[in-house]
Chain A
Amino acid sequence: MIELTVNGEKRQTDVSPDMPLLWVLRDEFGITGPKYGCGIAQCGACTVHINGVAVRSCQARIGELGGAKVLTIEGLGAQSLHAVQRAWIDHQVPQCGYCQTGQIMQAAALLDKTPKPTDEDIDMAMSGNLCRCGTYVRIRAAIHAAAEKL
């Protein structure tokens, strides 16, 4: 039995230790904000925070996460919308939106470390998150806007 904390709640699971956190969240815990896009950390749609660091949850084996603190998009804005989420709404960033929960988690992690990122910082931090709809121009603008509010 593996125990971890997800969005402040204690959770347990006894699935195979090889199972990626992504699928435990989605299929075992019913937390579907993190998305399956590629399974090999090429798209970033599954991004969550583990102990404060942005992580591709498709790569994190559940067996190695005992005691970990996991934050998903559902937990990020649970109390009130995070500045990044607010900016995403103001700038109407999403099109299909499938990648956006991962984009938001990655952007929130960037702003934790780099509160006033340049375009260059954003291009470095966010290029692991694919957006097939092509909302990059708005993502960039929304991150700057969120940085202003933080």
Chain B
Amino acid sequence: MRKALLIALLLAPSAAIPVVMSLAADVTPASEMPATGSIGKTEGLAAWKRVEAVLTHPRCANCHVGPDNIPIWTVAGEKKSRPHGMNIHAGESRIGAETIACSTCHMTSTAPNKLAHAPPHVGLDWQLAPVDFVWYGKSGAEICAQLKDPQRNGGRDATGLVEHLRHDADVNGFIPWAWNPGGGRETPPGTFEDHVKDVAMWGAAGQPCPE
């Protein structure tokens, strides 16, 4: 009983983040989005392909895992990905509240990630993405369908997704970190700015998904 209550309390702030973000007045203006209809479907799909390459990259997908709540490691110098070492289970709380908190090792810090093989940190409390946002092991088409579904993307429309990226950067969050992970870690293709543009183009094209 006590355990269930604790998880709910701990989960609440992270679940609230998307809501707070999409309501926030000071996020990047919608003008970053190209005008609706200015991007054709072909161009939009091409933009999606680039987005997909980012979202399926281990640096991004490894913490967007399913209900087993086990993050994935892609360790610098190793050939294949594997479950997070040390028998880590982030739990239903997705922050390790049940047994060992992510924050036991992953600090909340805006300092650069310098040390190889040290647990990375960002300006937000370390956590798995909500379980509805699972990307790991999914096809591009599946992720695309999921990402444009407000039921499964934190209640965001196309503009909201771009705002989400900008807000995350403002708080030194997980998304820009992917392109500056430190410690010799591999990065997804392109840059954070490229990614924002691609998400915006895809959105302006009406969020087309591969067949």
Q: Do chains A and B touch in the complex (CB under 8 A)?
A: yes
Establish whether residues A124 and B121, one from each chain, have CB atoms under 8 Å apart when the complex forms: no
A window 24-61: CB within 8 A of B: 39-42, 47, 53-56, 59-61
Q: Which of A18, A59, A61 has a CB less than 8 Å from the CB of B119?
A: A59
Q: Which of B87, B89, B101, B115 has a CB less than 8 Å from the CB of A40?
A: B115
Establish whether residues B109 and A56, one from each chain, have CB atoms under 8 Å apart when the complex forms: no
Establish whether residues B117 and A124, one from each chain, have CB atoms under 8 Å apart when the complex forms: no
Q: Which residues of A contact B107 (CB under 8 A)?
A: 55, 59-61, 64
Establish whether residues A123 and B3, one from each chain, have CB atoms under 8 Å apart when the complex forms: no
Is A15 close to B, CB under 8 A? no
Give the interface segment out of B56-64, B92-100, B147-155, B184-192: B92-100
Establish whether residues A40 and B99, one from each chain, have CB atoms under 8 Å apart when the complex forms: no
- B89, B99, B101, B108, most chain A CB atoms within 10 A: B99
Establish whether residues B99 and A128, one from each chain, have CB atoms under 8 Å apart when the complex forms: no
Establish whether residues B117 and A42, one from each chain, have CB atoms under 8 Å apart when the complex forms: yes
Q: Which residues of A contact B88 (CB under 8 A)?
A: 124, 127-128
Establish whether residues B99 and A61, one from each chain, have CB atoms under 8 Å apart when the complex forms: no
Interface residues on A, range: 20 to 34
Q: Which residues of B contact A131 (CB under 8 A)?
A: none
- A18, A47, A55, A113, most chain B CB atoms within 10 A: A113
Residue of A nearest to B90 (CB): A124
Establish whether residues A41 and B105, one from each chain, have CB atoms under 8 Å apart when the complex forms: yes
Q: Which of A40, A64, A124, A128 has a CB less than 8 Å from the CB of B118?
A: A40
Is B12 close to A, CB under 8 A? no
Q: Which of A40, A115, A128 has a CB less than 8 Å from the CB of B104?
A: A128
Q: Which residues of B contact A61 (CB under 8 A)?
A: 107, 109, 111
Establish whether residues A40 and B117, one from each chain, have CB atoms under 8 Å apart when the complex forms: yes
Residues A114 and B100 in contact in the complex (CB < 8 Å), given A40-B115, A42-B117, A127-B87: no
Convert B73-91 into 0s and 1s, putting 1 for each residue whose CB lies closer than 8 angstroms to a CB of A.
0000000000000111100
Convert A104-142 into 0s and 1s, putting 1 for each residue whose CB lies closer than 8 angstroms to a CB of B.
001001100111010001011111100000000000000
Q: Which of B3, B87, B115 has a CB less than 8 Å from the CB of A39?
A: B115
Residue of B nearest to A115 (CB): B2
Residues A56 and B105 in contact in the complex (CB < 8 Å), given A41-B118, A61-B111: yes
Alpha-carbon separation in the docked complex, A118 to B106 (Å): 25
- B88, B104, B116, B121, most chain A CB atoms within 10 A: B104
Residue of B nearest to A64 (CB): B109
Residue of A nearest to B118 (CB): A40
Alpha-carbon separation in the docked complex, A55 to B97 (Å): 13
Alpha-carbon separation in the docked complex, A60 to B187 (Å): 25
Q: Which residues of A contact B53 (CB under 8 A)?
A: none
- List 15 A-B pairs, Cβ < 8 Å: A18-B111, A53-B103, A54-B104, A59-B107, A61-B107, A106-B100, A109-B104, A110-B100, A114-B3, A123-B87, A124-B88, A124-B89, A125-B100, A128-B86, A128-B100
Chain B residues in contact with chain A, CB under 8 A? 2-3, 6, 86-89, 97-101, 103-109, 111, 115-119, 121
Chain A residues in contact with chain B, CB under 8 A? 18, 39-42, 47, 53-56, 59-61, 64, 106, 109-110, 113-115, 117, 121, 123-128
With A39-B118, A115-B2, A124-B88 already in contact, 14 other A-B pairs whose C-beta atoms are closer than 8 Å: A40-B119, A47-B104, A53-B101, A56-B105, A56-B119, A59-B106, A106-B104, A110-B99, A113-B3, A123-B87, A124-B89, A124-B99, A125-B99, A127-B86
